[in-house]
Structure 1
Amino acid sequence: MAHLLYSLVVLAYAFVPQLVSAACECGYQTHSIKSNENKVFTDVLESDFLHLKDINAQQDWKRQVWDIPAVGTAPWGRNMTLENVILNPLPGDVGTEGVNGRDPGLELRVSAGEPRRGAVKSGEVATARRDMFYGSFRAGIKYTGQHGTCGAFFFYQSDRGEIDVEFLSKLYQDPAKAADLLLVIHAGPEVSTNELFRPTPLSFRPQDGYHEYRFDWTPERITYYADGQFLWETSVGVPKQAGGLTLNHWSNGDPGWSSGLPA
């Protein structure tokens, strides 16, 4: 198994363009380093995967089950299954290992070995809500150190309205090379793919510990951060409709993307 671990997701949405009043505790304010602007969001959803002991005890995230056949240069398809989404909470309020051992959090697994029926068993969860419209979206993630998988934390409305943070474990194998995070926006066909595909070197290696990955989506722009440090900002391809969030981890053996399978 290759494991992708999520410790904490904090989402703020329902954007309003003014500052929080000192007398009001209902808002959530963010500050853009690049544009030096403050934004206020009126709703907050926080998911604490470090302490969640029963996936059915919450209604915010749903495990996904679906199949997609092999396409292009991929030798296998993808099979998202219930059993590849595993909770491994802390046994108490503190600690460094979950109840199953290993790092604590939500585990999204990619299965090793010859795929059954031609599809690699993988894991995915998505928000039940599909009405998120602008926000500051964040996830604490520790990525796998095993070669051959793709992981993603992303907003999705349609194939022309998507904001991605993507990981390819094959990029993190050589310690002499910078570890690139892939920042990707899917917009209409009138927008150049190259303009919205941004490999961005990190100052750390994603498999070495939990790090906060964040994107802020406002009517004007999309801004990416890692551990609070600015990575990239664009005003091109900004989605204009509501959608939801997805966290996933998968492989289909495609040498041009996920590579794999993991050992």
Structure 2
Amino acid sequence: MISPLKISIVLSSVAAVQAAYHATAGDSEVTYAHRIYHDFRSLDDTGNLYKSEPANITSDEESSAAPIQEGYLSSDAFVNDWGIQTWDSPAGEDTPLRKQYSNGNVYIKRDEETSATHLVLRAYRNEDFVSAGEIDSKLSNIFHASIRVRARVRGESGACAGIFTYFDDDNESDIEILTRDETNHIRYTNQPGLDDAGNEIPEASTDAVMKNGAVWTEWNDHRLDWTPELSAWYLNGEQAVTKTYGIPKNPSSVILNMWSDGGVWSGELDVGSAAYLEIQWIEVLYNTSE
């Protein structure tokens, strides 16, 4: 069970009933008791389920009626670990557009050039709302983890791709790609990012330049390590940023999403435009609070 990132992860005992996974976070070795792994690259598509992108969601009726895609996303293997979200967030003073998550924005797609498959989370702008895509871990008691995702982002300016842990707005650790940014910039944040007066907390967020010519429109290995003493972010196996500020203190979920609300952070998609978080695989090494 070697990680696709080729980072040092080994089984402590092949014969053990409960495996343990070892990973290096910062300068320390961390042991995790559990692993979630989903590889979307070579899924069976004999029925051509994944040939075409599903139609964009353009109304509340379409959003609520959209089924979960047949095939892998309906399988026990996926459903046991992840839940596709259908909640909504109303527009507000700082978020001009309502955000509505839908089953129809989470789907497997076959790459026309390579025939490989991948998971897609989509955000599509309508006149008065954004139809968005999100998956949440079924577990909400993850307590320290190493989260690894091979992904790329494409589409129009004005959306945000997120890979993060979440308990509440003060216990959240983020990898975020903003499609309004230059394609070699990525945001690493431990929340809260603002103080009570609404001012930015300097140590909370880093606008990092991706190393070695990497750009987020191409496939990259993203990694977030959450330990009791440190949050560490990695790109393609190299440590990018560490933080001791804002390390989450509560058991959390792991969330991946693609969204926009027209606000200052995400920016605003043009009407009729879309952005996509495309994922080849997800791996989560973790401990729990129980």
Same fold per superposition (TM over 0.5): yes
Cα distance in 2 for residues equivalent to 1:64 and 1:232: 30
Tell me, yes or no, if structure 1 residue 44 matches structure 2 residue 28.
no
Tell me, yes or no, if structure 1 residue 200 matches structure 2 residue 218.
no
Cα distance in 2 for residues equivalent to 1:257 and 1:90: 27
Report percent identity of matched pairs.
Answer: 24
Secondary structure of 2:91's counterpart equals: coil
Equivalent residue number for residue 72 of structure 1 = 93
Secondary structure of 1:70's counterpart equals: coil
| Post-superposition offset of 1:161 | 0.6
Structure 1: segments with no counterpart, 5+ residues: 1-7, 11-18, 99-103, 174-178
Q: Cα distance 1:9–1:120, how it changes in 2: closer, same or farther (>3 A)?
A: farther
1:88 aligned to which of 109, 125, 128:
109
Matches within 5 A, 1:1-263: 21=12, 26-32=19-25, 34-35=26-27, 37-52=28-43, 53-57=71-75, 58=78, 59-88=80-109, 96-98=114-116, 104-112=117-125, 114-115=126-127, 118-172=128-182, 179-187=184-192, 193-203=201-211, 204-207=214-217, 209-261=218-270, 262=273
Alignment size in residue pairs: 229
Cα distance in 2 for residues equivalent to 1:9 and 1:69: 39
Cα distance in 2 for residues equivalent to 1:259 and 1:171: 12
Cα distance in 2 for residues equivalent to 1:196 and 1:44: 28
Q: Cα distance 1:30–1:252, how it changes in 2: closer, same or farther (>3 A)?
A: same
Q: Cα distance 1:9–1:85, how it changes in 2: closer, same or farther (>3 A)?
A: farther
Q: Cα distance 1:235–1:79, how it changes in 2: closer, same or farther (>3 A)?
A: same
Secondary structure of 1:108's counterpart equals: strand
Q: Cα distance 1:229–1:236, how it changes in 2: closer, same or farther (>3 A)?
A: same
Contact 1:187 1:238 in 2 (8 A): no
Question: Normalising by structure 2, what TM-score?
Answer: 0.71
| Post-superposition offset of 1:166 | 0.4
Cα distance in 2 for residues equivalent to 1:181 and 1:226: 10
| Post-superposition offset of 1:72 | 2.8
| Post-superposition offset of 1:230 | 0.9
**CA deviation map 1:210-242 (0-9, x unaligned):** 111111111111111011111111112111211
Structure 2: segments with no counterpart, 5+ residues: 44-70, 275-290
Question: Normalising by structure 1, what TM-score?
Answer: 0.77
